[in-house]
Amino acid sequence: MKNIFLVVLLVGMLFLSNKIFAVSSEGDSLKHSLKNKPDIIFGFFPNPAKDKIFVETNYLQEPCKIYITDVVGNLVMEKTCEKKKNEISLEELNSGIYYLTITQAEKSINKRLIIEK
């Protein structure tokens, strides 16, 4: 039973905001460490936009998702970004106010996007 318990501890991780709390086993004692995950910064430009925007992130260990919704909350566009700098075409969207949500690594950032054609 002791071996099963140790295996569970070896794979257990808790995510606390931007910290990772890892538990490991060394012999008969337990050791834990607290590591910082890098702060994730997102940005996009230009705003107001006309026909495209560029979405940038400083950290890309996994793909991020980009959602654009109208003022009522209807999803009008969804993209996956796999690079640190991504070009998003706005050709199919009308002029108006939209909301851009970028989600990555359990974090989300919401920004207002204005499209002027």
Contacts of 31 (CB under 8 A, 6+ apart): 23, 24, 25
**pLDDT surpasses 80 at 6:** no
Q: Model's pTM, two decimal places?
A: 0.65
Find the helix or strand (DSSP H, E) in which 2 lies: helix 2-11
Give residue for tokens 């004692």.
Answer: 29
Which tens digit of pLDDT belongs to each residue from 60-97? 777 889 999 999 999 999 999 888 899 999 999 999 99
CATH value at residue 110: 2.60.40.3080
Instruction: Give the per-residue pLDDT at 76.
Output: 98
Of 4-8, 35-39, 75-79, the range with the lowest mean pLDDT is 4-8
Range of the domain at 14: 2-36
Q: How many domains does the chain have?
A: 2
28 with 61, same domain: the answer is no
Instruction: Give the per-residue pLDDT at 12.
Output: 34
